[in-house]
A and B are shown apart, each in its own frame.
Chain A
């Protein structure tokens, strides 16, 4: 199998790797680039644990081939905090105890971050619909929604 040379920008850094064309972007991130924050839950686009942004669009990285990322930007959970400063969503998830096992958390944070970029003042219903593709089997979702709503409120005040 001929490997393909892929050049991307991941979390702002130029990154190159060699990918078997059958490998998903998720496999490439985890196995070739060493970014293991994105998780494989279902591998079929149902659970959202592998959520990343590809050229600014929220996608399941398990449903993108690594070779498709050539020439594109990828943003993962590893790029969410600024140095040691957690993103407001990350802080609020800790404050609200919006995670238990934590497996779904990176995907939910990446998805919620995108939501607040698109819609800084979402209703609870809009938030629940936006995150419908992120499954969590521990929390029952309530604390997750509360954490996202609280982070959104804080972020709006910061801007104002």
Chain B
């Protein structure tokens, strides 16, 4: 195995594009090192991104959004008060990933590129309308987060392409987000179902919303029907019933040891409803 420490994303992309064997990018390493140890993935070229300037930084963008480096660990997101104030749902999703030790290393970009349908940090990013900057052999482009996962363990990134930053839009006023997951214990588990809601209010009425579900399809999914169910409402009982129904209709989970199809569908509705309530309260400036 060759260990590379490129100093730019272009260089990292060139190494990956020119490699003939198996390639892996290394940020936090909490998935890659486990796969290497298990013998599932034995890279010929391992490209450590952490020597690239900016990979560990969180910075405000010109439009008032955020640019998050690919090696920023969960613990740094949780410690960033302004980011957490803007996007509590995004941060709480990442903070649910693993233990304190894992939080010291695990990253948003890694959680996204690992391609798990149950990735806890991804629904929050999708609901937030986050995008990723991709650097590849043909230059860089920006795509929505929901376009990255292709299926369990798979992404739509082409050979030589890598994520070079996570971009969150400006939060703006009267807005809130939330991520909730169901697990049968209190900590250190994989989501049986996850749901994220981000919304903006005009007075008491929801003007914009995005809803995302995790662990109920081969990828984390954006559910426009669930957003439509609450847009134009004050999140009254009828709207809550509508978002519940829309989330259940969109959920197409498998049955496995962590939950049956029927259970996951039911929980998708419940969590979408609860996440919407919390996001609404946060948009109102209430602490929830």
A residues adjacent to B (C-beta < 8 A): 1, 4, 21-22, 24, 43-46, 48, 51, 54, 57-60, 62-65, 67-68, 111, 114-115, 129-134
Asked whether, in the complex, the Cβ of B99 is within 8 Å of the Cβ of A54, the reply is no
| A24 in complex: contacting residue of B33, B102, B104, B105, CB < 8 Å | B33
Asked whether, in the complex, the Cβ of B101 is within 8 Å of the Cβ of A48, the reply is yes
A-B contact count (CB 8 A): 79
Asked whether, in the complex, the Cβ of A132 is within 8 Å of the Cβ of B188, the reply is yes
Q: Chain B: which residue is nearest A111 at the CB level?
A: B100
Asked whether, in the complex, the Cβ of B34 is within 8 Å of the Cβ of A133, the reply is no
| B102 in complex: contacting residue of A54, A60, A65, CB < 8 Å | A60
Asked whether, in the complex, the Cβ of A133 is within 8 Å of the Cβ of B101, the reply is yes
| A132 in complex: contacting residue of B26, B34, B38, B187, CB < 8 Å | B187
Given A65-B29, A132-B99, 4 additional A-B pairs, CB 8 A: A45-B34, A57-B104, A68-B50, A131-B100
- In the complex the two chains form, what is the Cα distance from A63 to B75 in whole Å? 16
Asked whether, in the complex, the Cβ of A58 is within 8 Å of the Cβ of B100, the reply is yes
Query: Quick check: is B46 within 8 A (CB to CB) of the other chain?
Result: yes
B interface majority secondary structure: mixed
- In the complex the two chains form, what is the Cα distance from A129 to B101 in whole Å? 12
Per-residue interface assignment for chain B, residues 109 to 141, with 1 indicating a CB less than 8 Å from any chain A CB and 0 otherwise? 000000000000000000000000000000000
| B33 in complex: contacting residue of A63, A111, A132, A134, CB < 8 Å | A63
Per-residue interface assignment for chain B, residues 15 to 53, with 1 indicating a CB less than 8 Å from any chain A CB and 0 otherwise? 000000000001001100110111000000010101000
Q: Which residue among B26, B73, B100, B187 has the maximum number of chain A CB atoms within 10 Å of its CB?
A: B100
